Amino acid sequence: MKSDNEKRELALFREALTAQPEGLRPEASCPDSSRIWRAAQGNASPAEIEELTTHILDCTICAASWQIAVEFQARECEEASGHSVKAPSRWKIFRWSKLNGSRFNLWSQGLVPASIAATLVAVVLWGPFQAERISPQRSAEVQEGKASTLRGEAAGETLRGGEWSSNLRSLISGERLTRHDCRLRWEGPKDAVRYDLRVYLGDILQPPVLEVFGLETGEYVVPADDLRELPAGASVLWQVTSSATGEVSPTFDNAVD
Amino acid sequence: MPETKTSTDSPEGRQPPISFLPDAEWDRFQGELARAVERVCPRWLKDQQEDLVQSALIRVIEIVQRGDGERDVASAYLWRVAHNAVVDEIRRRGRWQQVSIEDQVGPAAPLSTLPSPEQHYAGQQIHHAVRACLGHLVPSRKVAVTLYTLGHRASQIADRMDWSHKRAKNLIYRGLADMRRCLTKKGFQSDSYHEKRQ
């Protein structure tokens, strides 16, 4: 979860990109708005995104256009998920299928149990260690005025273990789940009207196998298809973010038979 | 199921403005659009925000009607059209703004909210510095920080740039650290960015 300082710092950077009047350009030199939409949506090559990024740094209007695209796509995503309570097929779900292949070749090679155990141990140990390793340096920088407390999104997404105070808690702590009814349940603060959910298979340091945005209830059934590479007895790791407050839960884990 | 307006009573045989969407959905879309624009509207257009939303809604209606008529409009399509409409409108207004661009806040802003000349100058200085520092980042960090600043998550950046999630997070983290160092060198202390501007 970003601190107020972090939010203010990001807001300042954003404003710098979008509020400089001298950055205004004639329309002809700007990329088409559809192109910006596609790029923001992820339907552009990395080279094209890099090219657009360079343009954005000189162009207030295109920076604003990109930001609007991100905002609108998030709204659309929420809207789709709002309907999805009745029609689950319209949930906006991001699957990381292109990564599944390489990651889960290991499963088929029999390295699974050892790697899961090692990874989970590493994650539990790594979280507090990482926090401890970063904090003194950063706090010194903050005290010297060289840095704010901005740590980027990384902290909210990966820290696990150690001291964690969260209003988001699992309602299935310690339960074993089945892959055909892998029902994740949680509860959050009263003002958390929507949640984002990330699900990882065995390794939280890898990208999530799926992300679901804008859930309106504290419950989600992970499709069995997304768990097909997970060996019996291995853990599904999951994390919930409150859309209203941006609060990120600890990483919960449940064994799946 | 919300009621849907019909198009048969239009004098020119065209659909009435919101016939492509049930009333409730259209109302909800209008509200969502207004909130979304409010959230990301550039500061120099804040005073024209409502006009912007209205213009965009009209454009959405025109574009959708010109397109596929009475078909069921998916919300994804609607948002894409709305984006194009808002951006076109911003571009159009941006060209006008160039004529009298010195007034960033606009005439509708209350006097109490207008920055003093010193504050205005300080704000511009920070903006310049941020953009200069962003421009000097290593290319991969520049892309990562720019996309992060514009609202993308690390996972989305990784997906768009064909990076691993871990790499995207590292690039953001290191890029932001570079930004802070660069801004410090330029005389801006990160904890006082805002104090300088207020």
| Nearest CA distance, B14 vs chain A (angstrom) | 27
* The pLDDT value given to residue A102: 38
The answer to whether A211 faces chain B, any CB pair under 8 Å, is yes
Q: What is the mean pLDDT of residues B174-187?
A: 89
Q: What is the pLDDT of residues A21-80, one digit of tens each?
A: 555 555 567 888 888 988 998 888 999 999 999 888 888 888 888 988 888 888 777 666
The DSSP call for residue B43 is: G
Smallest Cα distance from A188 to chain B, Å: 22
Spatial separation of the C-alpha atoms in residues A114 and A231, rounded to whole Å = 12
Answer whether A246 touches B (CB < 8 Å). no
A30 interaction partners in chain B (CB closer than 8 Å): 91
Contact: A16, B160; criterion CB under 8 Å:
no
Q: Do B75 and A80 touch (CB under 8 A)?
A: yes
Tens-place pLDDT, residues A186-236: 988 776 667 878 888 876 656 677 777 778 788 888 888 788 778 888 888
**Is the pLDDT confidence value at A155 over 60?**
no
Check A53 against B143: CB less than 8 A apart: yes
Contact criterion met (CB < 8 Å) for A70 and B154: no
Distance of CA B55 to the CA centre of its chain: 15
Q: Write the pLDDT tens digit of every residue in A78-123.
A: 666 554 322 222 233 343 333 333 333 334 344 445 556 666 665 5
Cα distance between residue B20 and residue B26, in whole Å: 9
The reply to whether residue A49 touches residue B145, judged by beta carbons under 8 angstroms, is no
Q: How many beta-carbon contacts under 8 Å exist across A and B?
A: 207
- Check residue B81 and give its pLDDT: 77
Closest alpha carbon to A187 in A242, A253, A244: A242
Amino acid type, B114: L
Q: What is the pLDDT of residue B128?
A: 85
The whole-model pTM stands at 0.52
pLDDT digits (tens, 9 = 90+) for B45-101: 777 788 878 877 887 777 666 654 444 456 677 788 788 878 877 777 766 555 444
Q: What is the pLDDT of residue A99?
A: 34
Q: A143 contacts in B (CB within 8 Å)? A: none
Contact A150 B180 (CB under 8 A): yes
Torsion B107-B112-B116-B120 (CA) sign: negative
Q: Which helix (H) or strand (E) holds A213?
A: strand A210-215
**Residue of A24, A26, A72 with shortest CB distance to B79:** A72
Farthest CA pair distance, chain B: 67
